[in-house]
Amino acid sequence: MGYVVYGGELSYFTRKLEAALIFYGVDFELSAKNRDNRAVIESRSGTHQVPVLQTPENWMIGDTTPLLSLLDARYPARRMFPEGALGVLVHIIEEYFDEWIARTMVHYRWHYPASAEFASLRMAGGDAEAAARVRDWGPRACRATGTESTQQREAAELEYQRLLEAMERQLGETRYLLGDRPTAVDCVVLGGLRAHTNMDPDPKQLTAGYPGVIAWSEGTADTWDGSGELAGMPDSTEFAQFIVREMQTSYLPYILANQAAQAVGAKACHADIYGEQVSFLSRPYPERSRAMISERIRNQLSDYERGQVGAWLKANGLDECF
C-alpha cells in the first residue's frame, strides 16, 4: 500500500503535507478522520490533531515538520529540507508560517461570518448542528492566538497582503519561493492557500488580486519534475529576505515570550506586536518547534556551517531565538 493522509481539505497542515507528498512524487490518498476511525488513529499516533500519516509499513505518525524530515530520508533526491546551512534557513522560514501565519488563517476563517459558515458547514458535512459547534470553537482559537483586537486583526491582514505581494514578485522570477525547486516553505505556503485563503470566501477576494500566486496554487506548483536549484546562503531569494525582516517584529517577540512563559509554567504570555501588548495562550508546541531548529544547528551542521548560520542569525537579529 502507499501512504494515507488522515486529515481534511480545510486543514492548513493537512494541505501542507499533501503538497509535500505531491513534490516527493509518491503514491498517497487523502482520507477523512471521522467517528469510525478517530479512536484508532489517535491511539496509534498519540495525537488528536491532523494530519496523521499512515506509512506503507502501517505506522501512524503526526507532526508535519518531522514527517518531512522522515520523507526526506526516503526520497533524498526530492528532499524538502536541504542539507547543511541552507536547510536551517528553510526550517526557520517554514517555522514562521507554521507557528505565526497560522494565526492569520484562523482569524480569516472565524472572524468573518461568511467564511465561518462556509468552513464550518463543509467540515461538518452539511450538518447544521455540528457546524454551529465548530463555529463556537473559532473565537476561542482567535483569542488564544492573539487576534482578538481590531488592531491585531488589521495588522495580520496587512502582513498577509505583504506576503502575497512578495510571493507574486518572487514567482515572477523563480518557479518556487526559494529558487527553482520546492522546499518545506512552498509546502506550508501552499497549505495555507489551498486550505484557507484561496478556499474561504472572504480572504479569497484578496488572493484573487495575485494571479501568479493563484496559478501556482491551483496547479503550476505541482508540475515539478525534480530538477532545479535553490538560491544559496546567506542571501537566498528576495522572498526569503522579506520573511526574515517580517519575523523580527512579529514571530520573534511572540516566540520569545512563549519560551519564557513555558519555562515558568505560565498559562499565558504577552508580547508587543505591532505596537500593542497582546496576550497569547502559552503553548508547549511552539517551544518544541523552536527547539527543533536549535537542535538542527547543533547536531546536523559542520563547524563551518554552524559558524555560517550563526553569522546569518546575528546579522538578521534572530540569534537570541535560535
Q: Is the pLDDT of residue 263 over 90?
A: yes
pLDDT at 35: 85
**For residues 109-133, average pLDDT:** 96
Banded pLDDT at 269 (limits 50, 70, 90): very high
Contact between residue 110 and residue 153 where contact means Cβ atoms under 8 Å apart: no
Q: Which of 16-30, 35-49, 308-322 has the lowest mean pLDDT?
A: 35-49
Contact between residue 61 and residue 67 where contact means Cβ atoms under 8 Å apart: yes
**For residues 223-227, average pLDDT:** 97
* pLDDT tens for each residue of 137-170: 999 999 999 999 999 999 999 999 999 999 999 9
Q: Residues 197, 220, 181, 178: is their CA dihedral positive or negative?
A: negative
Residue pointed to by grid coordinates 497582546: 278
Q: 1 or 173: which carries more pLDDT confidence?
A: 173
Query: Bridge partners of 179?
Result: 176, 230
**For residues 235-264, average pLDDT:** 97
SS3 61: strand
Q: Is the pLDDT of residue 173 over 80?
A: yes
Mean of all residue pLDDT scores within the chain: 97
**C-alpha cell belonging to residue 227:** 530538477
Helices (H), 75-101: 85-96
- With a pLDDT cut of 90, the percent of the chain lying above it is 98
Distance CA 26, CA 219 (A): 17
Distance CA 171, CA 178 (A): 9
Q: What does the DSSP 8-state code read for residue 75? A: S
* pLDDT tens for each residue of 35-55: 889 999 999 999 999 999 999
Q: DSSP characters for 241-295? A: HHHHHHHHHTHHHHHHHHHHHHHHT-SEEEEEETTEEEEEE--HHHHHHHHHHHH
Distance CA 272, CA 253 (A): 7
Instruction: State the number of CA atoms in the 13 A half-sphere of 85 facing the CB.
Output: 18
pLDDT at 34: 85
| Residue partners of 45: CB distance under 8 A and separation at least 6 | 52, 60, 61, 62
Q: Which domains does the chain have, with CATH numbers?
A: 3-78 (3.40.30.10), 85-315 (no CATH)
Q: Cis ω on the peptide bond leading into residue 234 (within 30° of 0)?
A: yes
Q: If 0-12 CB within 10 Å is exposed, 13-18 middle and 19+ buried, where does residue 88 land?
A: buried
Contact between residue 43 and residue 94 where contact means Cβ atoms under 8 Å apart: no
Long-range CB pairs of 198-201 (<8 Å, 24+ gap) are 199/9, 199/10, 199/119, 200/108, 200/109, 200/112, 200/115, 200/118, 200/119, 201/112, 201/114, 201/115, 201/118
Q: Is the pLDDT of residue 91 over 90?
A: yes
Q: Is the pLDDT of residue 1 over 90?
A: no
